[in-house]
Structure 1
């Protein structure tokens, strides 16, 4: 029996609080109700309100989350059953149900060997680009990781173990280079470890790292690096080679939009937010990218087929990411290097300033004016040879000098 559409619902902020209290992600809640995670996001933000059977299932689930722990399981089971009933007649949109969980988490068992369910212990859902690890190694993190007994290193390792393999394949589709794909993911996780308090509190840590990896992979400065000037060997299969060539001929923003929407499975608003564009511009980029790919490969006009081919192309690379301890060690070494470089630069600046103060003059010294040319002064000349008259005069003076000149004798009167 279906309730009236006027079934009361908590305020949007309370809906999100109840979901987080029950350790449910938007993808989990959406799966129980039979909708997409974007619809749950809209309900929690107040942009829209569920109706009909979905409203009833949503209200039951929230009521069950608001009950004490003893009644939570039954309410969740009832809501899950309602969600299954509502999904029986609802077809999956071009296979996207398989890829919605790229950056979401699902509740999984607590630590290895421990019983029960940790409310804050989460692990990612599988997708075509991202395979879920076993529950024992699928532990991730929450904002309250310390209270859950997870150290920052353990939480980072869990995030890396789950997200890194898929991110390497995504970066390969963006760049067509295996080494650059591995480097992009490693640099993204190093940046995440440097800013771990910020990343751990982010509502979507996997999306944070994904955005950093994509931005590094699509950086235009790589074209000036010697190791990336020559193209890498293409995939051996002709179809994969044609698809990769079609992707690389797209402008980087269009390529990234196509990957996020048709490959990873993000919604249009989430894709627009991650690519830092408006929803209208993102829709235009997506349509243009699909048209360009379809012009080269007409058989990929179906978005579901395009998604499947992207997943197959990403899997042909056989890419492996670095180990989490190696990534953390590289991040710490980089941080130490830049810290020491900053200290050395500061010391050099202080020494230069002290030397300048030591050697600088302590009083005003007027500048010496530049020399000026004085006109009318005859030039200085060196003595030249004597003439004949000058030589006779010199000889006469030399003869008279010993005897002296004639003197006048005074006479008396």
Structure 2
């Protein structure tokens, strides 16, 4: 049994062009396909690729939009349609093809995609060049410096990330600090982040890890409660989110809040796809038990967006974030150098003062008993004086030596 080939899709830029030509927003197109707006945004940016029934519905809708765009273009410019039958029956050699004068007078700003669908079972190919002239070459983009690129990324992603992190922690200052620390980490690893396919996702993962770190509970600031949201509905929803386990809460925010699909949510939470699906279902059930009106995922997505948008959550300016990251990097570098110098000095002092041979330990002293104490010399008695005189007067040669003799 062979697997049916996937329906071919146009390139991501062409998908976005077809949607903008039809004057549709990402939310409207997502509603027609049956997905979240963030999923359509990921499809148009090329970060993800639709699969299964969603791919079939998306391809069918894009085909319809292409046909509508081609019909509208033919209605506006009848001369660009197919040649008439009389011209096709003429005999003789045909003249060389030249671009039509109308095309030179009114150049199209963007070439329209070829509305002809590709046959199934064949790989996707680039559209054939149209007969219209190419648009005027645009000026080459100016290369940005690393600081300018970082500032652009921060201004684009920081406000949304602060609101998303607030849904995870329920604390405004902690959400702002987590996002700033994540961007400072991104600035330290900027070559890696700049080459990443999704830089905002890289920073988002770092911010979520910092915000949900267990050691945050040990900080004195965490012991002081912050004022809850003013709206009772927002307060109830935030309490329901904070009652969820951290992993379930993060999965719910990523899928229903940010709009990631299930594989991306599983990858960012470092879990398998079935595990992420179970966490999402349990989180939805827990929220629906406290708030039955949010049982519908679309309603839950809208309420999460409203809860994050109702709070005034500001972010620092990009230059101050960069400078803060650089100060932290310098401090860590100097601390590492000082620790290394102290370790080297301690090692050198130990080698200098350590003994070079073994010295047995000296046993502790003990008191000796049974010995009469020494007394000072006093005056001699008469007998002692007589004995001393006798010893001095007599010959002190000792007894005669005995010699062996012959018998």
* TM-score w.r.t. length of structure 2: 0.65
In structure 1, the partner of 2:112 is 75
Q: Separation in 2 of the partners of 1:31 and 1:43?
A: 20
Change (3 A) 1:118 1:226: farther
Query: What's the offset of the Cα at 1:340?
Result: 1.1
Deviations 1:8-52 (A, max 9, x none): 969xxxx8xx65xxxx39877888896654667698699999659
- C-alpha RMSD of matched pairs (Å): 4.3
Indicate yes or no: 2:384 matched with 1:397: yes
Aligned with 1:365: secondary structure? coil
Gaps spanning 5+ residues in structure 1: where?
62-69, 83-114, 121-147, 409-413
Match of 1:381 among 345, 348, 372: 372
Match of 1:201 among 195, 208, 215: 195
Deviations 1:323-365 (A, max 9, x none): 100000000001111111122222223323333343445xx52
Change (3 A) 1:220 1:381: same
Q: Separation in 1 of the partners of 2:331 and 2:268?
A: 31
Indicate yes or no: 2:278 matched with 1:241: no
Higher mean alpha-carbon deviation, 35-44 vs 200-209, is at 35-44
Q: Tell me which of the two structures has the higher relative contact order, counting C-alpha pairs closer than 8 angstroms and 6 or more residues apart.
A: 2
Q: Separation in 2 of the partners of 1:302 and 1:240?
A: 17
Q: How many residues align?
A: 317
Q: Separation in 2 of the partners of 1:6 and 1:403?
A: 137
8 Å contact kept, 1:268–1:282: yes
Deviations 1:201-224 (A, max 9, x none): 000001111111111111111001
Q: How does 1:135-146 map to 2 (within 5 A)?
A: none
In structure 2, the partner of 1:106 is none
In structure 1, the partner of 2:78 is none
In structure 2, the partner of 1:54 is 59
Match of 1:295 among 276, 282, 289: 289
Indicate yes or no: 2:375 matched with 1:367: no
Match of 1:181 among 175, 179, 188: 175
Query: What's the offset of the Cα at 1:305?
Result: 1.5
Q: Separation in 1 of the partners of 2:321 and 2:154?
A: 9
Q: How does 1:323-338 map to 2 (within 5 A)?
A: 323-338=317-332
Gaps spanning 5+ residues in structure 2: where?
23-28, 34-38, 67-106, 118-135, 396-407
Deviations 1:265-294 (A, max 9, x none): 111111111111111111111111111111
* TM-score w.r.t. length of structure 1: 0.64
Match of 2:340 among 312, 327, 346: 346
Q: Separation in 2 of the partners of 1:262 and 1:7?
A: 27
Deviations 1:233-279 (A, max 9, x none): 21122111111110000000100111111111111111111111111
Change (3 A) 1:282 1:229: same
In structure 2, the partner of 1:107 is none
Q: Separation in 1 of the partners of 2:250 and 2:237?
A: 15
Query: What's the offset of the Cα at 1:300?
Result: 1.1
In structure 1, the partner of 2:73 is none
